[in-house]
Structure 1
Amino acid sequence: MDVKLQALAATQDHVILRPQLLAAGYTDDEIARLRRHSQLTAVRRGAYVETRIWNGMDPAGRHRATARAVVMQLKVPAVPSHITAAVILGLPIWGVDLSVVHVTRTDLHSPRLEAGVMHHAAGLWDGDVCSVSGVVVTSPLRTALDVARSVPFEQGVVVADGALRRVGNDRKGLLEKWDVMRTWPGARGAGRVVAFADGGAESVGESRARVQFDRIGLPAPRLQPVITGPNGEIFRADFLFEEEVTIGEFDGRSKYLGNLGPDDDPADVLWREKQREDILRNLGFGVARLVWADLSRDAEVLARFSAAFRQAGRRRAARALH
């Protein structure tokens, strides 16, 4: 494509429509040639993305581009919603189906799946929509509830935690929106997500870890606690099990090595993290870590955190004897 069309596509999530190509002077034969030579990829009938860009997109990016094509081609008012809105809003997602684009329409009496687009029939009220790069989508809280009504609990929590984080952990607002939807399909499952969601979780991993803790019977931890060291140092942890005086950290190694500066030595960063952990242990805290792979190892995580709880208890008992 020429530079002007590339610039136009860049404003449309890299999507260019057949009518736009024709208006720029391309013919259908030229469009077909560009596709044959792997220069254009059809994301929907009559909607294209440059192949080099499409090949570099992750699944969420491809879903967003396809959703933009759907919005540009629909002849009826429709608002991207559910997991599609989550992708457009940039909310965290995990383990969800991105093969179908979801939109909500207020003019339908019943939902229907058509040409890879799920048309949901539902009302939209004040505060239920917002604009992202010129596209009107359901708002973060409405999106979280729609997702929670249609996916398993863990996937719903990931999105809901991210939505709450986006809006300042407005749990009251989330509950009020759910109350309006309490008789809708899937509302019971969404209610469980609403009760559990917490904007203090800062990543997909932390949200999934919270679900795992609940699943294996650990107490609910406090999120992002701030702990003061003996010399006034400030430490922030991912989780604090208060009664057990134990800190939980998710994916510590990648977290500390992922943001290395050009002059940082990985060994020094890990050494500082070890020192930090030693200080926390000396303060009487148990410390337990888990990484992404541990999220499917319930028995191992339960044993690891239970051991940390016992170790913290022994330290407190030893100090009491002295």
Structure 2
Amino acid sequence: MYPLDQYGLVRRQAALADDFSDHELRAAVRSGDLIRLTPGVFVPRSDSFDGARGADRLYRLRSIAVATSEPSGGYPLSHASAAAIHDLPLLRPDRKRVHLTSGHGSGGNITADRHLHSSLLGAADVTVVDGVSVTTLARTAVDVATSGRFAQALTAFDSALRADVDRELLAAALTGRRYGVRAARRGLQYAHKDAESVGESWSRAQMIDAGLPGPVLQREFRCPSGKYRCDFCWGDRLIGEFDGAVKYGRLLRPGESVSDAVLREKRREDELRALGFMVVRWTWDDLAKGALPGLLRPWLVRLDLMAA
């Protein structure tokens, strides 16, 4: 119904040229047929914007809308906005606004829908993804890591390493930084490419902060039903599994329902217990409450994996 550009966005000028009026566009926003992303740019409402994954898609489009609009000044997307373009998973990213970086040491500003950061950018710090100028994966991870807490820095660097960004490149990008560099350097110290999700990274951050012994990540076991990988493993006694809501969707096989995947995971756990392991599971809610150390420590002590 509406004229769409290459990103699936409705631009006001294109809509007016296609005989839509401003009154019709405003009415479509009020009725929910269109979502206003930034002045003069909209997207048709879709079920694909529902849920956490949908929010990710919508923020990505919002970032593209801002970056490709005249008021952006041609600045590259950065921080959480660049991460959305790169599909770099983050912990609690700052999505109140779209983030851009000026490339200058001063002159940043914040408006209702965008945050322009004042920071120098070299030619190697900027790339183009899908026709949009963004900071590189390495620069994006460092920007995010120096803007948050240890858990956010660890998650950003885990994600970057998982995307094959070189650790030395990340370390070099931290050189000369001041603000937030302490948490970022600590995050890079513990970062590991085998952390497969934001939940696993956040779990490790809580383990590290609590002084718990470090687990082996993604250890494999052969069981009667097949070969299994576990999120976390301590010695030959304890296995830890993060149960994210998205996890079961990711595990679905062709023709399977979520219930099928849950039952298969239950069988997997039974077979791991038969090998002599205690299996401890936790959820997003446990992480949000900071409850993970309290769940793990009693078992680590009981199984002689740490001192009381």
TM-score of the two chains, using structure 2 as the length reference: 0.82
CA offset at residue 177 of structure 1?
1.6
Task: Among all aligned residue pairs of Structure 1 and Structure 2, give the percentage whose two residues are the same amino acid.
Answer: 31
Output aligned runs, 1:99-118, within 5 Å: 99-107=96-104, 109-118=106-115
Give the Cα–Cα distance (whole angstroms) in 2 for the partners of residues 208 and 175 of structure 1: 21
Output aligned runs, 1:282-297, within 5 Å: 285-297=277-289
Give the Cα–Cα distance (whole angstroms) in 1 for the partners of residues 170 and 211 of structure 2: 26
Contact kept? 2:49, 2:55, Cα under 8 Å: no
What is the CA deviation profile of residues 246-288 of structure 1, one whole-angstrom value per residue up to 9, with x for unaligned ones? 332222897468525536856852453134212431xxx4443
Give the Cα–Cα distance (whole angstroms) in 1 for the partners of residues 91 and 84 of structure 2: 11
Report the structure number with the largest CA radius of gyration.
1
CA offset at residue 39 of structure 1?
2.9
SS in 2 for 1:237: strand
Contact kept? 1:15, 1:68, Cα under 8 Å: no
What residue in structure 1 maps to residue 174 of structure 2? 178
What residue in structure 2 maps to residue 192 of structure 1? 186
- Of residues 271, 274, 293, the one that matches 2:269 is 274
Contact kept? 1:63, 1:99, Cα under 8 Å: no
What is the CA deviation profile of residues 56-92 of structure 1, one whole-angstrom value per residue up to 9, with x for unaligned ones? 4733222222211211213522000001111121111
What residue in structure 2 maps to residue 61 of structure 1? 57
SS in 1 for 2:275: helix
SS in 2 for 1:225: strand
Contact kept? 1:256, 1:269, Cα under 8 Å: no
- Of residues 63, 82, 86, the one that matches 1:89 is 86
Q: Which runs of 5+ in 1 are unaligned?
A: 315-322
What residue in structure 2 maps to residue 246 of structure 1? 238
Q: Does 1:306 align with 2:297?
A: yes
Give the Cα–Cα distance (whole angstroms) in 2 for the partners of residues 198 and 112 of structure 1: 34
Q: 1:246 to 1:36 in 2, by over 3 A?
A: closer
Q: 1:32 to 1:256 in 2, by over 3 A?
A: closer
Q: 1:228 to 1:141 in 2, by over 3 A?
A: same
Q: 1:250 to 1:35 in 2, by over 3 A?
A: closer
Give the Cα–Cα distance (whole angstroms) in 2 for the partners of residues 42 and 63 of structure 1: 12
What is the CA deviation profile of residues 211-260 of structure 1, one whole-angstrom value per residue up to 9, with x for unaligned ones? 1111222012221123456x9x6442211234x75332222897468525
Give the Cα–Cα distance (whole angstroms) in 2 for the partners of residues 125 and 165 of structure 1: 24
Q: How many residues align?
A: 299
Output aligned runs, 1:25-174, within 5 Å: 25-52=19-46, 56=50, 58-75=54-71, 76-107=73-104, 109-167=106-164, 170-174=166-170
Give the Cα–Cα distance (whole angstroms) in 1 for the partners of residues 264 and 120 of structure 2: 51
Give the Cα–Cα distance (whole angstroms) in 1 for the partners of residues 79 and 283 of structure 2: 29
What is the CA deviation profile of residues 146-197 of structure 1, one whole-angstrom value per residue up to 9, with x for unaligned ones? 01111222223222211211116x3222112212xx3343223322222222
- Of residues 6, 9, 17, the one that matches 2:11 is 17
What is the CA deviation profile of residues 125-148 of structure 1, one whole-angstrom value per residue up to 9, with x for unaligned ones? 244233322212112221111011
CA offset at residue 103 of structure 1?
0.2
CA offset at residue 210 of structure 1?
0.2
SS in 2 for 1:150: coil
Range moving further from structure 2, 108-117 or 213-222: 108-117
What is the CA deviation profile of residues 100-127 of structure 1, one whole-angstrom value per residue up to 9, with x for unaligned ones? 1100112462321134211112222244
CA offset at residue 17 of structure 1?
1.8
Give the Cα–Cα distance (whole angstroms) in 1 for the partners of residues 22 and 14 of structure 2: 12
SS in 2 for 1:109: coil
What residue in structure 2 maps to residue 320 of structure 1? none
Contact kept? 1:287, 1:308, Cα under 8 Å: no
